[in-house]
A and B are shown apart, each in its own frame.
Chain A
Amino acid sequence: MLRSHLDVELLKLLAAGMLLISFSMLATRRTQQLITLFAWQGTILFLSTTLVAHEARLTELYFSAGLTLILKVITLPLILHTLIKRLGAQWDNERLVNIPVTMLVGLVLVIFAFGLAQPISLLATTVTRHTIGIALAVILLSFLMMITRRKAVTQVIGFLAMENGLFLAATSATYGMPMVIELGIALDLLVAVFILGIFIFQIREQFDSLDLHHLESLREE
Chain B
Amino acid sequence: MRGIAFVWQFAEVILAIVLAPLFVGWIAQCRAWMQNRSAPPLTQQYRMLRKLFNKDAALAENASRLFRMAPYVLFGTMVLAAAIIPSVVTDLPFARAADAIALIGLFATARVFQALAAMDIGTAFGTLGARREMMVGFLAEPAILMVFFNAFLLFGSTALTGLVDNYATHPSLIDPSVVFAAIAFVMVLLAENARIPIDNPATHLELTMIHEAMVLEYSARHLALIEWASSLKLFNYACIGIALFIPWGIAIHGAAVGAVLIALITLILKLAVCGAALALIESVSAKLRIFRAPEFMAMAFLIAVLGLLVHLLLGANTGA
Report A-B touching, CB under 8 Å: yes
A positions within 8 Å CB-CB of B:
2, 8-10, 12-13, 15-17, 19-20, 23, 27, 99-100, 103, 106-107, 110-111, 114, 117-118, 121, 127, 130-131, 133-134
- The stretch that binds A, out of B84-92, B103-111, B299-307, is B299-307
Question: When the two chains form their complex, are residues A20 and B295 in contact, meaning their CB atoms are under 8 A apart?
Answer: no
A127: chain B residues at CB < 8 Å are 320
Question: When the two chains form their complex, are residues B299 and A103 in contact, meaning their CB atoms are under 8 A apart?
Answer: yes
Listed by A's residue number, 10 A-B pairs whose Cβ atoms lie within 8 Å are A13-B174, A16-B176, A16-B180, A16-B314, A17-B176, A20-B303, A100-B295, A110-B306, A114-B309, A130-B317
Chain B nearest Cβ from A19, distance in angstroms: 6
B306: chain A residues at CB < 8 Å are 16, 19-20, 23, 107, 110
Which one of A13, A100, A118 contacts B313 once the chains associate, using CB atoms below 8 Å? Answer: A118
* Complex CA distance for A106 and B306, rounded to whole angstroms: 11
* Complex CA distance for A52 and B197, rounded to whole angstroms: 39
Given contacts A16-B179, A130-B313, contact A9 B294 (CB under 8 A): no
Question: When the two chains form their complex, are residues B295 and A12 in contact, meaning their CB atoms are under 8 A apart?
Answer: no
From 170 to 219 in chain B, residues with beta carbon under 8 angstroms from any chain A beta carbon are 172, 174-177, 179-180
For chain B, the bracket of interface size reads 20 to 34
* Complex CA distance for A16 and B311, rounded to whole angstroms: 10
Chain B nearest Cβ from A155, distance in angstroms: 23
B175: chain A residues at CB < 8 Å are 9, 12-13
Question: When the two chains form their complex, are residues A100 and B298 in contact, meaning their CB atoms are under 8 A apart?
Answer: yes
Secondary structure at chain A's binding surface: helix, strand, loop or mixed? helix
Q: Closest A-chain residue to B305, C-beta based?
A: A107
B320: chain A residues at CB < 8 Å are 2, 8, 127
* Complex CA distance for A20 and B310, rounded to whole angstroms: 11
* Complex CA distance for A12 and B318, rounded to whole angstroms: 10
Chain A nearest Cβ from B176, distance in angstroms: 3
* Complex CA distance for A62 and B175, rounded to whole angstroms: 26
Chain A nearest Cβ from B76, distance in angstroms: 36
* Among A99, A106, A127: residue with most chain B CB under 10 A: A99
Given contacts A100-B294, A100-B298, A103-B302, contact A10 B309 (CB under 8 A): no
Question: When the two chains form their complex, are residues B313 and A27 in contact, meaning their CB atoms are under 8 A apart?
Answer: no
A12: chain B residues at CB < 8 Å are 175-176, 310, 314
Question: When the two chains form their complex, are residues B313 and A20 in contact, meaning their CB atoms are under 8 A apart?
Answer: no
A100-B295, A114-B313 known, 10 other contacts, Cβ within 8 Å? A9-B175, A12-B314, A13-B175, A13-B179, A16-B179, A27-B299, A100-B294, A103-B302, A111-B309, A134-B313
Given contacts A8-B320, A103-B302, contact A110 B176 (CB under 8 A): no
Which one of B179, B299, B313 contacts A133 once the chains associate, using CB atoms below 8 Å? Answer: B313
Q: Closest A-chain residue to B307, C-beta based?
A: A16
Q: Is B11 an interface residue (CB 8 A)?
A: no
Q: Closest B-chain residue to A131, C-beta based?
A: B314
B286: chain A residues at CB < 8 Å are none
Question: When the two chains form their complex, are residues B314 and A130 in contact, meaning their CB atoms are under 8 A apart?
Answer: yes
Question: When the two chains form their complex, are residues B310 and A107 in contact, meaning their CB atoms are under 8 A apart?
Answer: no
A100: chain B residues at CB < 8 Å are 294-295, 298
* Among A8, A107, A121, A127: residue with most chain B CB under 10 A: A107
A117: chain B residues at CB < 8 Å are 313
Chain B nearest Cβ from A176, distance in angstroms: 19
Question: When the two chains form their complex, are residues B174 and A10 in contact, meaning their CB atoms are under 8 A apart?
Answer: yes
Q: Is B101 an interface residue (CB 8 A)?
A: no
* Among A2, A9, A117, A118: residue with most chain B CB under 10 A: A9
The 7 closest A-B pairs by CB, nearest first: A16-B176, A100-B298, A114-B313, A130-B314, A99-B295, A13-B176, A13-B174
B309: chain A residues at CB < 8 Å are 110-111, 114
Chain A nearest Cβ from B33, distance in angstroms: 28
* Complex CA distance for A135 and B313, rounded to whole angstroms: 12
* Complex CA distance for A15 and B176, rounded to whole angstroms: 9
Question: When the two chains form their complex, are residues A107 and B180 in contact, meaning their CB atoms are under 8 A apart?
Answer: no
* Complex CA distance for A130 and B317, rounded to whole angstroms: 7
Please encode chain B, from 41 to 59, with 1 for each CB lying within 8 Å of some chain A CB and 0 for all others: 0000000000000000000
Chain B nearest Cβ from A5, distance in angstroms: 10
* Complex CA distance for A12 and B316, rounded to whole angstroms: 13
Question: When the two chains form their complex, are residues A19 and B313 in contact, meaning their CB atoms are under 8 A apart?
Answer: no
Q: Closest A-chain residue to B295, C-beta based?
A: A99
Chain A nearest Cβ from B42, distance in angstroms: 36
